[in-house]
Every structure is written in C-alpha cells, then in structure tokens.
C-alpha cells in the first residue's frame, strides 16, 4: 500500500472514531503515528498538535456562534496553558540538545504514561460528572483553572496529548455547566493551546506538513461519517473498548 494511502486511511479512521466517541485526536492518533507509520516521536508530537489545531477550528467556531463557550474560563486556562506549552516544548528542546535522538524514548515513555492515566479517567468520567454539582465561579477557581492550564500546557507541549481530555476531566472539579457548554469551552481553549504548541514545534522543524495534509484529507470525511453513525452504534461500549485498547497501548509503551 502506498504511504500516502495509508496516511489518508489512518486519518479517516481517527476522524471516524473522534466523530463516534468524542475522544481527543491526540490520544487516538499519536500511537498510530509512532507505531504504524514509524514517525519519530518528536516529529509525531509536532504533527499531531497541528492536526488537532486544524480539526478543532470548525467545531470551535460553531460553539462560539451558538454561545456555548465561557470566555472567562478559556482566558483563565490560556493564562496558564500558553506559558506551560512554551515550557514543555522548551524542555523537549533541552533534552534533544543533551541526548539527541534519545529524546524520542523519553517522549514514548511520557505518552505511555498519559495513555494509562487518561483512558482510566475517561472510564470514570460519568461517575465524576454525577458527583459534581452546580456552583458559581470564584477567584479561587479561576486561579485553579490557570494552574490546570499550566499543567495541561506543559504536557501538550511535550506530547501533544491532553489538550481536551485532561482539561475536560479537571474542569469537572470546578464547574458543572451543561454538557454543550463544557465541551465548547474545552474545544475553544484547545484551539488556542494546540495552535501555540504546533507553531512552536513548526519553528523547530518538528512538523511534517505533508503528513498532516494527508491525515486531514482522511479525517474530514471520517469525522462526518462518525458523527452520522454516532446515533446508530453503541457509543458507550465503543468508547470503553477504545479506552481499554489505549490503556494496553500505554502499558506496552511503558514496559516495552
């Protein structure tokens, strides 16, 4: 199979799964880039960040137009996530300066750890949502969100994973907005975070534009198909199966 065809098919698969389950592109795509396409880990991180940035723009614009975004929450998160992303990318650059290609092994271990933690949290997401009650924002919660943004930004800068999943889970500890508002706020902030991260990686030569282009060619129709099928398949069980597979993948990356 030609390499370009395989990349388009992977984009289609990831887009379909995103449309079906709502899982973030980073957690689904990055292992495929590293294990299937054999993309060097640091190049996979930068390309994945750009892919996530482009794929979220349409959904972010839609949520903004519908008023399902809490702009102050986005601002609070971005206050932390932008410097966090800069620090994360800078840390990778420092490691590459010291260890050369050995930085790829570090990235694989970091991604493996996240692929163990994130699916585990996602499996318990509904229980967390059920325990959280509506409460108004406070200065303390805004400070907490900036800290959440700082942590998530650092992780995304290093791995491109977590711009949606980690922040979504941690936001549940502060707010219980309607689901559309929670999702819209998370997506708009993810656009900012992945935009900054992909720009930083692009400047450092850690992005393969042709790879991203091929993935997008497949992911756009895949996302439309997944959204169409989401009312016709048992999404909850599919989501659980995917989380289990990702958990096993993360464990393999840690103990390989």
d(CA 93, CA 206): 10
Q: Is the pLDDT of residue 139 over 60?
A: no
- Residue 134's pLDDT band (cuts 50, 70, 90): low
HEC per residue, the chain: CCHHHHHHHHHHHHHHHHHHHCCCHHHHHHHHHHHCCCCCHHHHHHHHHHHHHHHHHHHHHHHHHHCCCCHHHHHHHHHHHHHHHHHHHHHHHHHHHHHHHHHHHHHHHHHHHHHHHHHHHHHCHHHHHHHCCCCCCCHHHHHHHHHHHHHHHHHHHHHCCCCCHHHHHHHCCCCCCCHHHHHHHHHHHHHHHHHHHHHHHHHCCCCCHHHHHHHHHHHHHHHHHHHHHCCCCCHHHHHHHHHHHHHHHHHHHHHC
Mean pLDDT of 55-66: 88
| pLDDT higher at 252 or 148 | 148
Tens of pLDDT, residue by residue over 82-107, are 999 999 999 999 999 999 989 999 99
| pLDDT higher at 170 or 174 | 170
Report pLDDT for 171.
Answer: 76
Phi–psi pair at 172, nearest 5 degrees: -60, -20
Report pLDDT for 10.
Answer: 94
Phi–psi pair at 11, nearest 5 degrees: -60, -40
State whether the Cα torsion 56-67-122-238 is positive or negative. Answer: negative
Q: What is the mean pLDDT of the chain?
A: 86
- Residue 167's pLDDT band (cuts 50, 70, 90): confident
- Residue 214's pLDDT band (cuts 50, 70, 90): very high
Report pLDDT for 1.
Answer: 63
Domain ranges of the chain: 3-255
Mean pLDDT of 31-54: 93
Report pLDDT for 152.
Answer: 92
Q: Which of 104-108, 137-141, 179-183, 211-215 has the lowest mean pLDDT?
A: 137-141
Q: What is the pTM of this model?
A: 0.89
Tokens read off for 64: 């903004």
- Residue 5's pLDDT band (cuts 50, 70, 90): very high
CA nearest neighbour of 115 among 10, 256, 16, 6: 256
């Amino acid at each position: 199979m030609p390499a370009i065809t395989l990349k388009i098919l992977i984009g289609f698969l990831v887009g379909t799964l995103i449309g079906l389950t709502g899982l973030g592109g980073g957690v689904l795509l990055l292992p495929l880039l590293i294990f299937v396409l054999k993309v060097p880990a640091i190049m996979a991180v930068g390309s994945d960040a750009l892919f996530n940035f482009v794929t979220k723009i349409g959904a972010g614009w839609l949520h903004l137009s519908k008023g399902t975004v809490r702009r102050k929450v986005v601002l609070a998160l971005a206050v932390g996530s932008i410097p966090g992303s800069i620090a994360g990318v800078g840390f990778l650059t420092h490691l590459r300066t010291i260890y050369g290609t050995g930085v790829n092994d570090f990235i694989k271990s970091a991604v493996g750890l996240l692929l163990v933690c994130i699916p585990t949290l996602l499996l318990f997401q509904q229980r967390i949502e059920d325990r959280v009650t509506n409460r108004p924002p406070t200065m303390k919660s805004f400070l907490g969100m900036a800290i959440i943004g700082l942590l998530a930004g650092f992780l995304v800068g290093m791995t491109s994973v977590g711009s949606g999943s980690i922040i979504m889970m941690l936001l549940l500890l502060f707010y219980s907005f309607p689901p559309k508002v929670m999702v819209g706020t998370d997506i708009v902030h993810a656009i900012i975070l992945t935009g900054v991260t992909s720009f930083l990686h692009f400047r450092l030569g850690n992005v393969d534009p042709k790879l991203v282009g091929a993935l997008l060619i497949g992911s756009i129709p895949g996302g439309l198909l997944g959204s169409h099928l989401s009312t016709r398949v048992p999404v909850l069980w599919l989501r659980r199966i995917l989380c289990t597979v990702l958990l096993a993948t993360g464990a393999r990356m840690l103990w390989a």
